[in-house]
Amino acid sequence: MNSPTATGETDRPHVSVVVPAFNEACFLPRCLGSLHHSALRLADIGGAVSCEIVVADNASTDATAETARAFGARVVQVPRRGVARARNAGARAARGDLLVFVDADYRVPLGFLTGITARFGAEPTLTAAGVRVELEPAEIDPLTRLCAHGALRLLTRVKRMSFGVLAVRAGYFASVGGYREDLYAYEDVAFLEQLRADARRGRARWAQLDGITVHASPRGFHRGGMLSTYALMAVSRRARTDLTRCGYWYERR
């Protein structure tokens, strides 16, 4: 943990951003560009806080790895498909004591890393946190965007879902074994269920950082089958472990 900075900032943890990626060469420039600027902002006001970006390349067949390296990210090759495997591999390679998972088609604001590290530095008992997620406003029609935001806010409040972004202390993440690698979908929900169970036992604490908003690509709304696929994953635990039933995510080119 760092010493307080000359400006009186609270101690902040070192941070590793982990980006799982499968054929994301077209989205990575926006994602990594925004993370790069957020990391520069963190360096400006965070004193000796270090930040690294790790891209877990999950058997991509496009220029994902080359694009990631061009933006200064460290690339970890994960040959066996599975977003949980990619996230876990990135976490194992990470050097920070705070892990921040961000999906490859997301764009973060300038104060993203500053806000997260400040909150974790100020609250030593905080285990994990999520942020607000909204869709890119210029890439989806207003009505769909309004409906999507309502659904996202409801699920965030009721289920405490993190929707592609999760900040978690590395020690806790390792202690629970990370994401379940037998799951091809809903691995993030399973992790949060574990976190909630530990919170009830007094072993963990969760916070929703509503002051931080990230923007997600609405590509899922442009592909057919999103609602039916999510409904299937919600009711069928077996489907989550069957790669052939998770093609909505894994058959993307």
190-243 confidence digits (pLDDT tens):
999 999 999 999 999 999 999 999 999 988 776 666 667 777 887 888 888 988
Tell me the C-alpha distance between 96 and 10, whole Å. Answer: 17
pLDDT for position 250: 74
pLDDT for position 222: 64
Homologous superfamily of domain range 15-221: Spore Coat Polysaccharide Biosynthesis Protein SpsA; Chain A (3.90.550.10)
Burial 32-44, CB ≥16 within 10 A → b, else e: bebbeebbebbee
Question: Which residues are paired to 75 by β-bridges?
Answer: 55
pLDDT for position 107: 97
Specify the pairing of strand 128-135 against strand 206-216. parallel
pLDDT for position 3: 31
Tell me the C-alpha distance between 88 and 78, whole Å. Answer: 10
pLDDT for position 182: 95
pLDDT for position 236: 86
Measuring CA to CA, which residue among 131, 132, 96 is closest to residue 116?
Answer: 131
CB 185 within 8 A of CB 243: no
pLDDT for position 239: 84
pLDDT for position 235: 81
Q: Which residues in the chain land under pLDDT 70?
A: 1-13, 46-48, 145, 147-161, 222-227, 252-253
pLDDT for position 155: 62
